[in-house]
Each structure stands twice: as structure tokens, then as C-alpha cells.
């Protein structure tokens, strides 16, 4: 029995009392176990270097579709039996596709860890993609698109992504489009699984009040025989600039009384050294309740309930975006204030006191990012997938505190739209046009164009 074999558990000190125990299964699956806490709930995360960016042309949404089908049947059990196995013990399992990773995220009562590891291994090793489940999932996905039309915020995010990264593998929503999903069959999902799933591009993380050696034996029992599959994860080339820069894309929703607004420009890839200075800029401009944007948009003018900025960074590139919403009549005014604040940040960066405040904010709240077992497992997975380094958790706060004003100003100059940004607005095009023309040539799309 494989569990009886000698395992080489290697301990890595991740700082602040966190020990990571590592080993590799005979098939080549790298495993990390972190022992902590007292609550008898264990988080398990299996990530694969794959994702929506690996969707074949014309098959947008396939990674996500494949992930959702994993628990709809294996060569051993049907969907109902799998649901029962997972849900009876009080475990929960999420299956996700991102642009450049797919993940199975499980939380289970500690006493059921061994059996749940077995279920997880079964899902990734032996999904059967039954025809009728493929059909149900396809219809459900198409039905979901129809329901998504009613969410203006979601439409804005979808329009932003596909416009900004048009022509690049990141340039479609992970759920795909109605046209692509409508054509999915069993062979597509099975083919994606065969091409992307295997122990070598995967990593497994177990976090909780567990004994690392015991967990190692359970992992080996479940995953020890998993072998084959691709040698490594897929690669994606960096995007070049963004689409429709300097233009305004309006997704027409004639009945809306409120517009959703996004402005975006290119940013850096995940893990780039500039990230700490960039985060300081982001906090000052548009995070929390006291950012420049909140003060100007919400507090001083009552224009919106929410406004914020964010760096969304992936393996090959990133976007910097500013988001908000306001009643239709004040859309132009809101955009002017947003643009004005981003311009002001680009020209001067944060002041000394803003820099110090942002550093205290980021450093003070950092421990919350890994407070639960699930969140620590997710951060450990990101550290591995994006090459952030084992000292990431330990050094994050010092790195944030070390950012200088000059570095922050440089990051602001680079990312706060030095070139004309892309603007996306979801709302009634007819009533919006005159307010938007001063921000660039206006292109009007229908909701169907972004679904």
C-alpha cells in the first residue's frame, strides 16, 4: 500500500509561526500541508495551471464548463451519489475557473478529510462527462446568460474584459459566450480534461488543525496513483496594450435609471516587483472609505454609493480600472470627477501622509487575508502559481512599508492612464451619448454583443 511507503516531508518556514510541510506523490503531484488553528474544519485546495486563457478559439468558456461537469459524474459514481458523498458529511466543494488557473476548493469537517480527499481525486482523475449531464449543464449555462442580462454591473465587467483584451486569450469572460457554450458537447469537456489535467501542472494544499504526517498518508492514499497528463501548465503571451483605448463603449440598456461606469488601462503582470508601490497608489486613489475617489465622488458630491479602483493582475498582464455607478443624468459628471482624480494621481502620486496612511492600512489589515483556512489555502496556491516566493507572507508588510514616495509616484505615472483609457458605460445609450462624447468616440453595443 502506498501509504506505508517512506515519504519525505520537507518543512519550510513561511514565517510568523507558519510551517509548511511539503512532499510529492509518486505521480508527481506537489503537496503542501499547513497545520494551524483549532476549529475542526479543514480546507483543501487543488489548483491546476490552466484556465479560461487556455480555452480553444471558438470554445470560449470550456475550462469553466469542464470544471462544473467534474462533479456531475465519474466512472465510479453518478452526480447524485457524488453530491451525497460530499454534502452528507457537511463538506462543501467549489469548482472554479479563472483566466489562468482552475481550482477545486473543499472545506470539510476534519473527521471526513480522508474520504473527501478520495472524492476530490476521483473528480480530477475519472470524470465521465455523461451526455445528459453535459446537456443539462449547457442549458443551465445558457439560461444563466439570460439571467445575467439583468445585472448591469456584471454586463459592465464583461464588456470591459472583452473589449480591453480583445484578441488576447484573456479577452473573454471565463463563462464564455452564448454562441460558444451553445456548441459544447461531451467531447469538448473530455478533450479539455485530457489535455490539461494531471499531477504535474497541479498543486494540492491542505490547511487546518491536522497532523501533517497523517495528512500526507491520506493524500497518498487518494492521489498516489494519479499519473500522466501534461508535463507542465500552459503558457500565455503578454497582451499588447488594450483594445479601444481612448474610446467609449456603451452597452445599451434603455430602461435603466442608473449607469454602470468603468475606465481601464494596462497594468503589470501578477507578482511584478512594482506591485507594492502600485498597491499604495491604489489604496490612496480608490480603496476603502477614505480614498480620494470616495471623498470626491461620494462624500463631497453624493454622486454614487460606491466608487473604487483596482489592479487585476494575471500571469501575463494586468488591468488597472476605476469603477462606479450613478443616476443616468449625472453619468458625465461622474466620469469627469473620476478622470480628474486619476489624472491628479498620475501627476503627483500620493502625498507623504497619504503614503504612510496607505502603508499602515495595507500592513495592518494584511493578517486578515489569511485568517481562515480557506483563505490561507488560496494564498498559498497563488504564491505557488505566480511564483511569489515562500517568504511572501512573511515579508509582505515590510515590503509595503519600504515603498518610497518616489516609487509610488513612478507607479502612479505608469498606471494612472498616461495613455487614453478605455471607457465602458452600461445604460440608456440615447440619453447618455451627449454626456459621453467628450471622453472619446462612442461605440454602442447591445447586451447581446457582450453575452
Partner 1 sequence: MSLRRKSPDLFPVHEARLPSGLRVRMVPDHDAPVVSLYTFFQVGSRNERPGITGISHLFEHMMFNGAEKYGPKEFDEVLESNGGRSNAYTTHDTTVYYEDFAADALDTVLDLESDRMRALTIDDRSLRSEREVVKEERRLRVDNEPAGLMDEALQALVYQAHAYRWPVIGWMGDIEAIRREDCEAYFRTFYAPNNAVLWVAGDFEPDSLLRRIRKAYGDIPRGPAVPEVVNAEPPQRGERRAQLRHPSRAPSVLVAYRGPAVADPDTLTLDVLQFILGVGEGSRLQRSLVYERRLAVNVGVDWSWRRDPGIFAFHLELQPDADVPAAEEALYAVIHRVAEQGVEPREVEKARNNLRAHLLREFTSNSGRAHALGTYELFLGSWKHGFGLPEAYGRIDAKAIQAAARRWLDPTQRSVVTLIPEDGKR
Please state the closest distance from residue 182 (CB atom) to partner 1, in A: 13
Residue (163 or 331) nearer to partner 1, CB: 331
Q: Is the dihedral of CA 223, 226, 231, 237 positive or negative?
A: negative
List 33, 34, 67, 79, residue binding partner 1 (CB under 8 A)? 79
How far apart, in Å, are the Cα atoms of 246 and each of 72, 126, 312, 316? 45, 48, 20, 23
E strands, 303-397, are: 307-313, 318-327
CA angle 346, 349, 355 (to 5 degrees): 150
Output 295 or 405, the one with its CB closest to partner 1: 295
* 139 contributes a contact to partner 1 by CB under 8 A: yes
Task: Please identify which residue in 26, 28, 30, 37 interacts with partner 1, judged by CB under 8 A.
Answer: 37
Strand, helix or coil for residue 252? strand
By the rule CB under 8 A, 128 interacts with partner 1 = no
For the CB of residue 141, give the shortest distance to partner 1 in the complex, in Å. 9
- The reply to whether 143 sits near partner 1 by the rule CB under 8 A is yes
Mutual orientation of helices 152-164 and 131-148 as an angle, nearest 10°? 100
Site string for partner 1, 296-315 (x = CB under 8 A): --xxxxxxxxx---------
User: What cell was used for 227?
Assistant: 499519473
Distance CA 250, CA 273 (A): 35
- Provide, rounded to whole angstroms, the least separation between the CB of residue 5 and partner 1: 30
Sequence-separated (6 or more) residues with CB below 8 Å from residue 422: 160, 163, 164, 242, 243, 244, 245, 246, 247, 249, 263, 264, 265
Touching partner 1, residues 240-279 (CB under 8 A): 253-258
SS3 41: strand
Q: Is 423 in the site for partner 1 (CB under 8 A)?
A: no
- Tell which one of 9, 10, 40, 235 touches partner 1 (CB under 8 A): 40
* In contact, 169 and 236? CB cutoff 8 Å: yes
Instruction: Decide: is 39 part of the binding site for partner 1 (CB under 8 A).
Output: yes
Binding site for partner 1 (CB under 8 A): 36-41, 71, 79-80, 83-84, 87-92, 107, 109, 111, 136, 139-140, 143-144, 146-147, 149-152, 253-258, 288-290, 295, 298-306, 325-327, 356-357, 360-361, 363-365, 367-368, 371-374
Amino acid at each position: 500500500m502506498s501509504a506505508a511507503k517512506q515519504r519525505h516531508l520537507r518543512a519550510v518556514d513561511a514565517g510568523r509561526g507558519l510551517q509548511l510541510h511539503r512532499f510529492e506523490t509518486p505521480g508527481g503531484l506537489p503537496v503542501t500541508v499547513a497545520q494551524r488553528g483549532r476549529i475542526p474544519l479543514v480546507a483543501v485546495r487543488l489548483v491546476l495551471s490552466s484556465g479560461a486563457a487556455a480555452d480553444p478559439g471558438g470554445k470560449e468558456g470550456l475550462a469553466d464548463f469542464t470544471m462544473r461537469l467534474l462533479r456531475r459524474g465519474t466512472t465510479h459514481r453518478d452526480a447524485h451519489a457524488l453530491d451525497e458523498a460530499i454534502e452528507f458529511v457537511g463538506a462543501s466543494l467549489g469548482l472554479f475557473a479563472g483566466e489562468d488557473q482552475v481550482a477545486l476548493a473543499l472545506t470539510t469537517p476534519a473527521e471526513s478529510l480522508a474520504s473527501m480527499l478520495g472524492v476530490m481525486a476521483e473528480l480530477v482523475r475519472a470524470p465521465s462527462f455523461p451526455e445528459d449531464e453535459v446537456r443539462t449543464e449547457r442549458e443551465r449555462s445558457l439560461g444563466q446568460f439570460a439571467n445575467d442580462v439583468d445585472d448591469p454591473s456584471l454586463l459592465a465587467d464583461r464588456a470591459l474584459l472583452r473589449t480591453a483584451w480583445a484578441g488576447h486569450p484573456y479577452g473573454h469572460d471565463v463563462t464564455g459566450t452564448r454562441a460558444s457554450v451553445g456548441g459544447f458537447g461531451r467531447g469538448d469537456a473530455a478533450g479539455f480534461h485530457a489535455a490539461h489535467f494531471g499531477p504535474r501542472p497541479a498543486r494540492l494544499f491542505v490547511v487546518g488543525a491536522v497532523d501533517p504526517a497523517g495528512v500526507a498518508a491520506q493524500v497518498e492514499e487518494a492521489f498516489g496513483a494519479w499519473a500522466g497528463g501534461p508535463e507542465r501548465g500552459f503558457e500565455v503571451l503578454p497582451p499588447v496594450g488594450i483594445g479601444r483605448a481612448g474610446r467609449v463603449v456603451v452597452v445599451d440598456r434603455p430602461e435603466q435609471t442608473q449607469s454602470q461606469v468603468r475606465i481601464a488601462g494596462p497594468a503589470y503582470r501578477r507578482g511584478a516587483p512594482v506591485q507594492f508601490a502600485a498597491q499604495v497608489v491604489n489604496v490612496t486613489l480608490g480603496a476603502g472609505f477614505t480614498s480620494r475617489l470616495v471623498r470626491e465622488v461620494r462624500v463631497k458630491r453624493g454622486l454614487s454609493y460606491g466608487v473604487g479602483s483596482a489592479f487585476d493582475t494575471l500571469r501575463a498582464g494586468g488591468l488597472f480600472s476605476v469603477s462606479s455607478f450613478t443616476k443616468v443624468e449625472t453619468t458625465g459628471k461622474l466620469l469627469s470627477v473620476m478622470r480628474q482624480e486619476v489624472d491628479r494621481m498620475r501627476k503627483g502620486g500620493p502625498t507623504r501622509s497619504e503614503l504612510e496612511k496607505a502603508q499602515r492600512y495595507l500592513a495592518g489589515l494584511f493578517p486578515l487575508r489569511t485568517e481562515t483556512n480557506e483563505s490561507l489555502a488560496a494564498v498559498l496556491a497563488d504564491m505557488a502559481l505566480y511564483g511569489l516566493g515562500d517568504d511572501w507572507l512573511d515579508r509582505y508588510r515590510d515590503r509595503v512599508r519600504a515603498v518610497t514616495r518616489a516609487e509610488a509616484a513612478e507607479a502612479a505615472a505608469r498606471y494612472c492612464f498616461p495613455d487614453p483609457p478605455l471607457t465602458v458605460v452600461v445604460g440608456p445609450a440615447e440619453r447618455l451619448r451627449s454626456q459621453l462624447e467628450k471622453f472619446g468616440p462612442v461605440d454602442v453595443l447591445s447586451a447581446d454583443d457582450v453575452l
